[in-house]
Amino acid sequence: MTTDNLSMLKALLRSTAVLCVFLTLSLIAMLQHFILTLPKPAPDDISITDGIVVATGGQARIEEGLRLLSEGRASQMLVTGVGEGISRTSLKRTLSLSAPQIRALECCVDLDAAARDTIGNAHSAALWAEANGVTSLRLVTANYHLPRAKKEFLRALRATSLHVFAVIPPDLKLNTWYRHWPSAKLLAREYGKYLVSLVRI
């Protein structure tokens, strides 16, 4: 290899390294912005909707949905994506529920085992809303999941007024996510899915 070729190769490698560092830092900055702008719980929101839908897949979502239902924030609730074999009895056994939450679960909750992902959650919610005359709906899910879930639900529920309720999972370390590998992995994966949802037609 000639001296000129070697110099060109070194310059190319330097440029590639700089580009890789720039892209990595850009992605980290975008992820940090995503995390900083995640929805926060709104305890002062006392609005009432026709129904509540809980998209399962994380901590405390069903409990929070049942709390809202037991407080009269809606008259009916759908829990979508529960998985095969899940019943009200098994939920009462596995969740730490108060007496009002148990009463709400027994009287006013439908379970959907068909949905396998967020798009499926939104589709099931749309079918349930139409079948039950629901024109306003509160979506309850984890704060990190809410940006993507809201987009999918708005696509599916075009004729339904959508409200959201953010749940912060107890194990999610938002302030120190970069030092907590499970949180970093969860947030990075969700951010990737969110970016895909932005370009999905």
pLDDT in tens, 23-52: 777 788 889 999 999 998 877 778 899 999
Average the pLDDT over 88-106 and give the result: 94
Give the whole-angstrom CA distance, residue 68 versus residue 62: 10
Average the pLDDT over 108-122 and give the result: 94
Q: Give the CATH fold of the 51-167 domain.
A: Rossmann fold (3.40.50)
pLDDT in the model for residue 65: 95
Q: What percent of the chain has pLDDT over 90?
A: 69
Other Cβ atoms closer than 10 A to 117? 13
| 51-74 pLDDT tens trace | 999 999 878 999 999 999 999 999
> Residue 16's pLDDT band (boundaries 50, 70, 90)?
confident
Count of residues in the chain? 201
DSSP characters over 163-197:
EEEEE--TT--STTGGG-HHHHHHHHHHHHHHHHH
Say if residue 144's pLDDT is above 70.
Answer: yes
Amino acid at 201: I
Average the pLDDT over 105-123 and give the result: 95
Q: What percent of the chain has pLDDT over 70?
A: 96
Q: Which two tokens stand for residue 51?
A: 């129904």
Domain boundaries, the chain: 51-167
Residue with tokens 């070194």: 10
